[in-house]
């Protein structure tokens, strides 16, 4: 009475007791329709154990069932039909689990393809926010995998459905979403390709902003403050150049044709995979890229430092070894280091010795300064013939 006055609903223990305690029948009903008086199995935790209890339906109201689950007249509870044992439902659920298990076993090889595009199915308005592959061939491979998965889904798993209720954002628990991804692969791949292209363009624009800085004039020899300093004679810091790379060779000798082809392959390869043509924004970017490369080439050529050569030493074997792989015309060659620098172990035994060599040669109308390390190892009571272990090249003006 006190609870009613407070406007509170009755908890299970406060419900009106039964006038008589029903006796369960030997026949248990395990499928609907459920009627008053039916003996059923109800799932609950009434006696400290979560399990199925043989119970009797004593009242039905608003789609709910009041059941007596054993014991005295107060042992009743209102539950939904989902807590009444239903053999038909259980068979259906088991069939779903069996189908899912078969699907997971068969679909495992296709997970890389699913992983690439499945989030666009799970969150269609979220866009591509995960890491995008920088290889269009990965998208091509994903489409091939998903085409085969789509065939399998339609042939054997048309009744497949997602039943996960807890980890709804975990695609590895959503088999029907895999099939949906496979079925929508072409549209999803187009969305992915557009996002990938946009990202590549943004990355290449960022790369362009640093290109000129990478090809600024710098010191050819760096040794200040370390034991390497003894490898260099006075005046070594006057030797300047612009570091030579394959990328810079392409820019100076080919106008950046290889660089343009590489970038175009990275950016537009996605369009080819999905069978689309490059959009206006991408084509405009290529025009921008061509102009920027031409500008960097002009700046590099204008800023090439004068050739300075301070090496004076002689070592025929070292000098011949240092120029062995050079195909251009040798203009100058000499040993830069005033003496050998020997590295010893903790016992004072020599491990190796090094000198620095310098070469200036001409190839393709351009002059290149090569700085290299010549290293020798102990052999018997002397040293081996030696070999080039490091070599760095810089562009300089020929005159």
Question: In a 10 Å sphere around its CB, with 0-12 CB exposed, 13-18 middle and 19+ buried, how is residue 67 labelled?
Answer: buried
Instruction: Using the predicted structure, report yes or no on whether residue 363 has a pLDDT greater than 80.
Output: yes
Mean pLDDT (whole number) for 50-58:
96
Q: How far apart are alpha carbons 271 and 266 in whole angstroms?
A: 10
Instruction: Using the predicted structure, report yes or no on whether residue 321 has a pLDDT greater than 60.
Output: yes
Q: 221-227 contacts: CB < 8 A, separation 24 or more?
A: 221/336, 221/356, 221/371, 227/341
| CATH of 2-85 among 1.20.120.420, 2.120.10.30, 3.40.50.620, 2.30.30.140 | 2.30.30.140
Q: pLDDT digits over 113-163, tens only? A: 999 999 999 887 766 667 788 788 999 999 999 999 999 999 999 999 999
Q: pLDDT digits over 31-50, tens only? A: 999 999 999 999 999 988 99
The mean pLDDT of the chain is 90
- Comparing 276 with 141, the larger pLDDT belongs to 141
Question: Residue 8: its pLDDT value, please?
Answer: 38
Q: pLDDT digits over 201-232, tens only? A: 988 889 888 888 889 999 888 654 556 677 88
Q: How far apart are alpha carbons 293 and 300 in whole angstroms?
A: 11
- Comparing 81 with 2, the larger pLDDT belongs to 81
Closest by Cα among 152, 24, 49 to 99: 152
Domain boundaries in the chain? 2-85, 89-183, 193-303, 316-396
Question: Residue 257: its pLDDT value, please?
Answer: 95
Mean pLDDT (whole number) for 97-104:
96
Q: pLDDT digits over 232-255, tens only? A: 888 888 899 999 999 999 999 999
Rg of the chain over all Cα atoms, to the nearest angstrom: 39
pTM reported for the whole predicted model: 0.62
- Comparing 9 with 344, the larger pLDDT belongs to 344
Closest by Cα among 128, 112, 131, 111 to 120: 128
Question: Residue 3: its pLDDT value, please?
Answer: 38
């Amino acid at each position: 009475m006190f609870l009613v006055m407070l406007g509170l609903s009755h908890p299970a223990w406060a419900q009106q007791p039964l006038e008589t305690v029903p006796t369960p029948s030997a026949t248990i009903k395990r499928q609907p329709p459920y009627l008053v008086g039916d003996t059923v199995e109800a799932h609950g935790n009434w006696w400290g154990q979560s399990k199925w209890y043989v119970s009797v339906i004593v009242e039905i109201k608003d789609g709910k069932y009041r059941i007596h689950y054993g014991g005295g007249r107060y042992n009743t509870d209102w539950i939904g039909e989902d807590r009444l044992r239903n053999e038909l439902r259980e068979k259906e659920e088991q069939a779903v689990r069996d189908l899912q298990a078969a699907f997971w076993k068969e679909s495992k090889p296709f997970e890389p393809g699913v992983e690439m595009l499945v989030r666009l199915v799970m969150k269609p308005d979220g866009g591509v926010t995960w890491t995008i592959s920088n290889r269009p061939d990965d998208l091509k491979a994903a489409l091939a995998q998903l085409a085969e998965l789509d065939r399998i889904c339609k042939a054997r798993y048309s009744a497949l459905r997602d039943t996960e209720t807890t980890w709804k954002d975990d695609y590895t628990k959503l088999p029907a979403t895999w099939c949906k991804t496979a079925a929508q692969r072409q549209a999803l791949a187009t969305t992915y390709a557009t996002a990938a292209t946009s990202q590549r363009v943004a990355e290449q624009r960022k790369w362009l902003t640093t290109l000129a800085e990478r090809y600024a004039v710098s010191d050819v020899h760096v040794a200040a403050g370390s034991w390497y300093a003894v490898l260099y004679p006075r005046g070594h810091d006057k030797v300047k150049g612009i570091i030579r790379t394959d990328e810079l060779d392409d820019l100076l000798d080919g106008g950046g044709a290889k660089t343009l082809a590489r970038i175009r392959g990275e950016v537009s390869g996605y369009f080819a995979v999905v069978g689309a043509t490059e959009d206006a924004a991408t084509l405009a970017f290529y025009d921008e890229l061509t102009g920027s490369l031409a500008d960097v080439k002009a700046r590099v050529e204008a800023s090439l430092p004068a050739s300075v050569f301070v090496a004076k030493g002689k070592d025929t074997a070292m000098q011949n070894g240092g120029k062995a792989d050079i195909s251009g015309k040798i203009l100058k060659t000499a040993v830069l280091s005033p003496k050998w620098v020997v590295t010893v172990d903790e016992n004072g035994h020599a491990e190796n010795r090094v000198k620095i060599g310098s070469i200036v040669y001409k190839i393709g109308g351009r002059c290149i300064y090569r700085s290299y390390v010549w290293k020798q190892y102990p052999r018997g009571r002397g040293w081996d013939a030696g070999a080039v272990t490091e070599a760095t090249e810089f562009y300089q003006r020929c005159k």
